[in-house]
A and B are shown apart, each in its own frame.
Chain A
Amino acid sequence: MLRAEKLTKRFEKLTAVDALDLEVREGEVFGFLGPNGAGKTTTIRLLSALIAPTSGTAEIAGFRLGRDDASIRAAVGVLTEHPGLYERLSAHDNLDFYARLYGLPDGLRVARVEHFLRLMGLWDRRHDPIATYSRGMKQKVAIARAALHEPKIIFLDEPTTGLDPDAAKTVRDLILALRAEGRTVFLCTHNLDEADRLCDRIALFRRRTVRVDTPTNLRREVYGAWTEIRLREARPEHLRRVQAVEGVRNASLFDSTLRVDLDDPLRTNPKVIRALVEVGADVAFVTEGKPSLEDVYLQIMEQQS
């Protein structure tokens, strides 16, 4: 759905995006994570044909960047960092205006505007000026604007920043609904928990792509796999027995919890549990060790810098 090769953008002496290679698959939610100033917004502007690359190429929804720019803009939807709505106009008039700019035929325009106003729960307030809306309501209108013309790819730049939990959940549900419709979502966010919950794959980015993979694989790559076993009463021999199990790389004991590092949890976990039971340990809980995406992100970024 989207492929960039050596995409570069320089602003005089500053290289904002440096030889970006990226491939985004159809129908996935693709997370684009990076620190402030990493060039995420510039990347979105490049991929939505708002600014021209200094070098490199990209193909977006089947259109060539630099050759089919108007077609790319027609095929993608963009939620910018700020809602950017006409405050004196109503939600209805804002959406109707953009539907016209995207060239939606009359009947479809009316239907799409109504669909999104109802979907966002704004139908009853559709004629109120945007200036009277809360931040969350404005963000909903801005997302509706980005999705109005049924784009194949939707770029979302920090869609839940500044929203209360209810509004953020609505936005997240909408992202999942867009994916369910088969649309590709390119999600720029600082909210790593959100990225973890929503994204099929994640790119860690700082001027160029640092790493691309699923959240699970990134975790495993950085921290490996481990299992946490809570015992009713832990003793040193329990630890020694677990350390002796084949497939266990390392084991450590904190209070009454054993942390067991292993390469193949599916094969090794049953052996560990059997070994513990054999030495008389009372196993209370067994859980899969899962570092937060934030830990993974920080670790990878630290390695890079």
Chain B
Amino acid sequence: MSATVAYVPRRTAVVRAVVLREWREALTNKLLIGMTFLPPLVILAAGIGAVAAAAANPPNERDIQALYAAAPAVRGLDPKEAVQGIIAQYFLILFLMIPTIVPLTIAIYSVIGEKANRTLEPLLATPAGVGDLLIAKSIAAMVPAVLVTWLAYFIYLLAVAKVGSGPAQNAVLSPRWLAAMTLMVPLLTLLSVNLGVLISTRVNDIRVAQQIGGLIVVPVVAIGIAQVTGRVVLDDAPILATSVGLFVLDAALIAVARVLFQRENILVRWR
């Protein structure tokens, strides 16, 4: 029996096709679009509102003393400007919630959507590699999440430049913000995507998957609380250390996702 000549897709073509198909589908899903843009909008509005409110309402003497106690570095600055700077700095942690919530939702919709519509088997019946499909799904969820976070940051920068003080502007342009945006945002997004994929392999209900995946926000919130209470200072070094930790965690989750994302596993074990 002689072998048949068959077309073989290029890996880049497969990834591109899947990414574009995912986005095309996502753009028709109003709920998903809403859930992609709502968290950044809320955080952005809260961030800008807080800086604007601090600019409009000067702190009283007691607040100033509490501020100097919590952040000795701002001692000597104009209290109103210092408060804005502190607020602008603290909002970094809230901005880091965007790359945890948004890609998780997109990844969950992507995988559970495929399971619900039973589109996985025809997809797996093609010569496309499962690794390429996983990469494509990750890219499709990561790119919008990172872009939305960066867009929100850019808008925040412009707003702080407009309504905020010099220390506030310095805070959002500080190395810790820039390192967080360039390092932590992609790493957190990847973590969230992989977590979304892993949860979706075991769960068939989007809301249940979101509730389980929502737990990823807990460490971020905990760091935020620790920061506000003065127990943690999100400085350059912790951000870099966290980035390294996230990188290791990402690598581990990618390895687990690759094991679960095998043709036979998907067809036989995924429920």
Contact = CB atoms under 8 A, between A and B. Distances in A.
A290 to B, nearest CB: 35
A85 interface: yes
A147 to B, nearest CB: 13
Contact of A98 (B4, B10, B24, B122): B122
B128 interface: yes
A52 B264 contact: yes
Interface string A145-177: 100010110000000000000000000000000
A80 B125 contact: yes
B107 to A, nearest CB: 17
Interface in A173-227: none
B121 A84 contact: yes
Contacts of A75: 4, 6
B56 interface: no
Interface residues of A, number: 44
Contacts of A70: 8, 127, 129
B31 to A, nearest CB: 12
A3 B1 CA distance: 10
A78 B122 contact: yes
B244 interface: no
B267 interface: yes
B29 interface: yes
A205 B61 CA distance: 87
A71 B21 contact: no
B25 A103 contact: no
Given A78-B125, A98-B122, A45 B6 contact: no
Interface stretch (A87-95, A251-259, A262-270, A278-286): A87-95
Given A84-B117, A89-B25, A149-B7, A98 B126 contact: yes
B25 A97 contact: no
A229 interface: no
Interface in A92-146: 93, 97-98, 100-105, 129, 142, 145
Contact of A145 (B2, B6, B17, B122): B122
A100 B9 contact: yes
A63 B4 contact: yes
The residue in B25, B117, B122, B128 that gathers the most chain A C-beta atoms within 10 A of its C-beta is B122
Contacts of A83: 118
B33 to A, nearest CB: 12
Interface residues of B, number: 36
A106 to B, nearest CB: 10
A271 interface: no
Residue from A68, A75, A145 whose CB has the most chain B CB atoms within 10 Å: A75
Interface string A55-72: 000010111000010110
B264 A103 contact: no
Interface in B1-36: 1-4, 6-10, 13-14, 16-18, 21, 24-25, 28-29
A62 B129 contact: no
B3 A62 contact: yes
A74 B3 CA distance: 12
Contacts, number: 116
A101 B2 contact: no
B119 interface: yes
Contacts of B16: 100
Given A86-B21, A89-B24, A145-B122, A103 B8 contact: yes
B264 A97 contact: no
Interface string B104-144: 00000000000001111111111111000000000000000
Contacts of A61: 1, 3-4, 6
B218 interface: no
B263 A101 contact: no
Given A51-B264, A51-B267, A88-B28, A102 B127 contact: yes
B268 interface: yes
Contacts of A59: 1
Nearest to A48: B125
Given A78-B125, A89-B25, A97 B17 contact: yes
24 contacts: A48-B125, A50-B125, A51-B267, A52-B264, A61-B1, A62-B1, A62-B4, A68-B3, A70-B8, A73-B127, A74-B127, A75-B6, A80-B118, A84-B121, A86-B21, A88-B28, A89-B28, A93-B21, A101-B9, A101-B123, A101-B127, A103-B9, A105-B7, A129-B28
Given A71-B127, A149-B7, 9 more contacts: A50-B264, A61-B3, A83-B118, A89-B25, A97-B21, A100-B13, A101-B17, A145-B122, A149-B6
- Top 8 nearest A-B pairs (CB, nearest first) are A103-B9, A62-B3, A74-B6, A100-B17, A103-B7, A74-B127, A101-B126, A78-B125
Interface of B: 1-4, 6-10, 13-14, 16-18, 21, 24-25, 28-29, 117-129, 263-264, 267-268
